[in-house]
Amino acid sequence: MNLARLDLNLLVALDALLQERSVTRAAEQMGLSQPAVSAQLSRLRRHFNDELLARAGNQYRLTPLALQLKERVRVALSGAERVFAAEPDFDPASSTREFSMLMSDYAIAVLGPHIAALLAEEAPGARLRFPANTPKMVDAAAQVLVNTDLLVIPHGFVEDLSHHDLYLDEWVCLVAAEVGGSLTVEQLETMPWVVTYHGPTASTPAARQMRMLGIEPHVQVVTETFLTVPGLVAGTNRVALLQRRLADRIPDELGVRALPCPFEATPLVEAMWWHPMYDDDPEHRYLRDLVLRATTIMLGIDGADVPLQQK
């Protein structure tokens, strides 16, 4: 397709129309008149040979093609904004850029506050976004990282991307406060489990390692947020695997305690990952440096750890 023949401003109109599902609201969002946006919708319909917005009673619904286009248009617009916002040098103090980081709630809980604090101090006009982290997005990391700055996740999930290791964390078994003593492998095989990200390609490294050792947990509850695990364990006979740095942040009044794993659980190596095309991007280099400095602060608060080296 010859892009020179297309009016790329139509991307903005298409995005507004697909998001708002209304010519009137799209016009208000874009600051244009309703007839002007109607004309743009007509051009888009001719180009795609599709209604895009189909009337259903007093409302419009998206056609199947429009549903396919909705996310693609957001990605295309985000990429275009990054292209035209690029500068030879990056000045954090004057930046109004939005940085996006795909992280689990565990990583946000232990590292996010330090990243946000540094960014607020050095780039007060910038914004930090933590989009929802899902197994589907991790599986498509190479595509997602075209328009998302960083993915913070342990090793074992993505590959063939630029990365920098951040810190180590160990796994503990979380049980109700009333559970005394230590745990045995036999108990892990009989106790009901709370597990996170339970699926063919979605699981914690320690859970995969446990299965490789022949320990098959009796899964009673599945959650896709680590922060909900303590409440699902408290007052029950359930057990769960949780990161030590997160377990140490659980208030005593929640009624849970952390016990050593009765099997040798390999520590997780938390890392930040990004698309190689941003290796030398000044804004991206700044963000990566900020995350490393935030990690140093976090490790200093947690103990005498030091950041891991570039791999």
pLDDT per residue over 296-309, tens digit each?
A: 999 998 765 656 65
Residue 6 has pLDDT above 80, yes or no: no
- 240 falls in which pLDDT band (50, 70, 90)? very high
Residue 210 has pLDDT above 70, yes or no: yes
Predicted confidence (pLDDT) per residue in 65-97, tens digit: 999 888 788 777 777 776 666 666 789 999 988
pLDDT of amino acid 125: 95
Q: What is the CATH number of domain 3-85?
A: 1.10.10.10
Share of the chain above pLDDT 90, in %: 60
Per-residue pLDDT averaged across 47-70, rounded? 89
In sequence order, the 6+-apart residues with CB closer than 8 A to the CB of 275 are 142, 145, 146, 161, 162
Residue 1 has pLDDT above 50, yes or no: yes
Per-residue pLDDT averaged across 53-59, rounded? 84
For residue 295, give both structure tokens. 């990690």
In sequence order, the 6+-apart residues with CB closer than 8 A to the CB of 219 are 192, 193, 195, 198
Residue 311 has pLDDT above 50, yes or no: no
Q: What is the CATH number of domain 92-168+269-302?
A: 3.40.190.10
CA–CA gap between residue 145 and residue 278 (Å, rounded): 10
| Count of CB atoms situated within 10 Å of the CB of 308 | 17
CA distances for 91 relative to 126, 188, 286, 287, angstroms: 11, 53, 9, 12
pLDDT of amino acid 139: 87
Outline which parts of the chain fall under CATH 1.10.10.10: 3-85
Per-residue pLDDT averaged across 101-125, rounded? 96
pLDDT of amino acid 198: 67
Q: Which amino acid is at 219?
A: V
pLDDT of amino acid 232: 97
- Please say whether the beta carbons of 175 and 231 come within 8 A: no
pLDDT of amino acid 304: 55
Helices 9-20 + 23-30 axis angle, to 10: 130
pLDDT of amino acid 120: 97
Instruction: Compute the mean pLDDT over every residue in the chain, rounded to the nearest whole number.
Output: 88
DSSP the chain: --GGGS-THHHHHHHHHHHH--HHHHHHHHT--HHHHHHHHHHHHHHHTS-SEEEETTEEEE-HHHHHHHHHHHHHHHHHHHHHH--SS--GGG--PEEEEEE-HHHHHHHHHHHHHHHHHH-TT-EEE-PPP-HHHHHTHHHHTTTSSEEEEETTS--SSEEEEEEEE-EEEEEETT--S---HHHHHHSEEEEES-SSS---HHHHHHHHTT---EEEEEES-GGGHHHHHTTSS-BEEEEHHHHTTS-GGG-EEEEE-SS-PPPEEEEEEE-GGGTT-HHHHHHHHHHHHHHHHHHHHHSS--PPPP-
pLDDT of amino acid 236: 96
Outline which parts of the chain fall under CATH 3.40.190.10: 92-168+269-302, 171-266
Superfamily of the domain at 171-266: Periplasmic binding protein-like II (3.40.190.10)
For residue 274, give both structure tokens. 């990004």
Predicted confidence (pLDDT) per residue in 154-206, tens digit: 998 888 899 999 999 999 999 999 987 889 989 999 999 999 876 655 567 77
